[in-house]
Chain A
Amino acid sequence: MSKTYLIVTEQRDGKLRRVSLEALRAALDCAEAGDEIHAALLGEGLDGLAAELAGYPLAQVHAIEGEELRHYNPEAYIGALAPLLEALRPAGLFLGHTALGRDLAPALAARLSAGQISDVTAIERDGGERDGGERDGGERDDGERDDGERHGGQIVFVRPLYAGKAIERKVFTAFPQVVTVRANNLPAAEPRRDGGTAIVAKRAAAPVADLRTVVREVVRRTAGKIDLTEARIVIAGGRGVKSAEGFRPLEELAGLLGGAVGASRGACDAGYCDYGLQIGQTGKVVTPEIYIACGISGAIQHLAGMSGSRVIVAINKDPEAPIFSIADFGIVGDLFEVVPLLTQAFRQALA
């Protein structure tokens, strides 16, 4: 019997988040011929986003509008999604493993009595690698994929344990299934090439009686910035930056390359930056294309949070720093000298 899958998409600054398209990729990888994939979009003023989403390989886009959905509120979101879940009875839900996804997915899973596999970095079938290895995946075309390949075989979800010190493979034993995907690991789904569009179904969120949770204010400290966990390029600073000011050259390089700035716990503990930037076992785990570690010695907890990066560059005064043992390219030198030179060299190369 054919199944229905639902992607709960996310927007940021009015733009669809790339991780939601990576979640769609995960659903496409799990779906068999005849299955339908739907997407839910929640918020206010969704027409433009709904139209954009309709250009992807989806059966339907459900745009649910409501004042209480302007900011994420788990009670309001669950209330708004409830009639849709009731109508679709999805076999699987797919979300990004983001602040919203981490909060909403287990709440929906509990509601559906579903299992959940979180923070998925690859999906395999019949033991063969299907994703993760193809991180740039731009040339893949859903229409041309061999349907025969999709039939049979168990779908295996790959996820990191101990912040990447080990890798776990998990399967579901029952439906429905809830999956959250880590940003930057699965290739994003591509728009349909046949020019067709999915049906857009608009509905107003049913008011939720007696909301116990009220979002009073959202202070956008990251407006216009690239989210660390989604960034393709991360420039991270450690104790070697010496002060809050010391992050300036890193910010300049990140700005030039369209990347994000991160930090080691040492830099956060020293008060040079906010804990929101911390990368490591007790912090964010990042898997960018390029990770440039500046003045970071490379404690095991930090390595756990970034060693899945595709290319690692280390800049450190100490030639014995452990970070060099895992770096693809190492520069022994003072970050305050090297980073501005690097910015200059990139500026020339990109000009």
Chain B
Amino acid sequence: MNIAVLLKQTFDTEEKIVLRDGKASEDGVKFIVNPYDEYAIEEAIRLKEAHGGQVTALSLGPARVAEALRTALAMGADEAIWIDDAGIPQDESAAAEAIAAALGQQSFDLVLGGNFSVDTGGAQVAVRVAAALGLPHVTSITKLTVDGGTASVERDAEGDLERIDVTLPALFTAQQGLNEPRYPSLPGIMKAKKKPFKSLTAQDLGFTDGRTAEAARTVRISLSLPPGRQAGQMLHGTPQEQATALVGLLRNGVRTI
């Protein structure tokens, strides 16, 4: 079974956002594999362990994403593809176009990705890739079983559980609860250094100077920090007095109660 995993490198969720020149500053920032993509990598490796085959990890971004790809290799992926994002607009339609072009060079039985990325949070790229490759998709899965040419999945839909059968090849995005991602082992880290690591540029994927602007259908015009929240009022008195006071404050201040 050939499995592709889409992964994105994101800021560590503990990072505070500091703006510099209209962008989130990367100075001293710790980067991680997007947490939802970790579930996708783990699931791909488990499927390979159960059914045999090959896992290809793919990421689009600047040179630092090599670190995220090496994490995937150390966890057990077999090969990595890095798409250099220079020349590819920061827009989900362009990203999906590039990724689909890279995946289109091989054939896969399954494509796995995260439910969304914890940085830009657009929840678009994986589904767009499925559409570009003509694959059916199911997002936000919490269970995946493959039997021959069919995958049976459970999907989390705002707390409801959907059981869905899909003919492979297909694309799935991982939700929390799918599995418990493993840590890369020391032998895994040593082996990762010898695994195939392929680099692709925008030009390799058909993004020429003329087509680049056309590929971006949205553009960011500004980034700002949300208004800071200040500590408010601490209530005093007995628990009973505090409860009564709070009810009064909420009823007077907020019309919904």
A residues in contact (CB < 8 Å) with B? 71-75, 97-100, 102-103, 105-107, 109-111, 113-119, 136, 156, 160-174, 177, 212-222, 225, 227-229, 232-233, 257, 274-278, 281-283, 289-290, 300-301, 304, 307-308, 310-313, 324-334, 337-338, 341-342, 344-346, 349-350
Contacts and interface: CB of A to CB of B under 8 A. Distances in A.
Nearest to A350: B257
Closest 9 CB pairs of A and B: A115-B217, A110-B131, A328-B232, A341-B243, A106-B127, A106-B124, A99-B157, A219-B161, A222-B159
Question: Residue among B122, B166, B170 with the most chain A CB within 10 A?
Answer: B122
Given A118-B121, A167-B224, A213-B138, A329 B160 contact: no
B35 to A, nearest CB: 5
B217 A72 contact: no
A329 B249 contact: yes
Contacts of B232: 312, 327-330
A324 B230 CA distance: 9
B131 A342 contact: no
A174 B235 contact: no
Interface string B149-180: 00000001111111111110010000111000
Chain B interface extent, by class: 35 or more
A319 B139 CA distance: 41
Given A110-B128, A170-B220, A342-B246, A327 B140 contact: no
A195 to B, nearest CB: 28
Contacts of B1: none
A300 B30 CA distance: 15
Contacts, number: 269
B231 A324 contact: yes
Contact residues of B: prevailing secondary structure:
mixed
Question: Residue among B121, B161, B219, B222 with the most chain A CB within 10 A?
Answer: B121
Contacts of B136: 74-75, 212-213
Nearest to A157: B218
Question: Residue among A98, A162, A167, A324 with the most chain B CB within 10 A?
Answer: A162
Question: Residue among A160, A164, A282, A310 with the most chain B CB within 10 A?
Answer: A282
A244 B125 CA distance: 36
Interface string B130-146: 11100011111000000
A338 B242 contact: yes
A257 B246 CA distance: 14
A282 B13 contact: yes
A213 B93 contact: no
Given A110-B96, A110-B131, A116 B124 contact: yes
B239 A337 contact: yes
Interface in B195-233: 216-226, 229-233
Interface in B34-56: 35-36
B141 to A, nearest CB: 11
Contacts of A327: 231-232
Contacts of A308: 226
B247 interface: yes
A275 to B, nearest CB: 5
Contacts of B221: 156, 169-171
Contact residues of A: prevailing secondary structure:
mixed
Interface stretch (B69-77, B103-111, B112-120, B186-194): B112-120
A119 B35 CA distance: 19
A217 B164 CA distance: 7
B243 A278 contact: no
Contacts of B161: 218-219, 221
Contact of B121 (A156, A163, A312, A329): A163
Given A173-B218, A222-B159, A311-B253, A278 B124 contact: no
B159 to A, nearest CB: 4
Contact of B229 (A97, A232, A312): A312
26 contacts: A99-B156, A99-B158, A106-B125, A107-B130, A115-B92, A116-B124, A118-B124, A163-B118, A165-B17, A166-B24, A166-B226, A167-B226, A212-B166, A213-B165, A213-B170, A217-B162, A219-B161, A222-B160, A278-B176, A282-B13, A282-B35, A304-B13, A330-B234, A331-B234, A332-B234, A341-B243
Contacts of B239: 331, 333-334, 337-338, 341
Interface string B1-40: 0000000000101111101000010000000000110000
A168 B158 contact: no
Given A114-B217, A168-B220, A344-B243, A161 B121 contact: yes
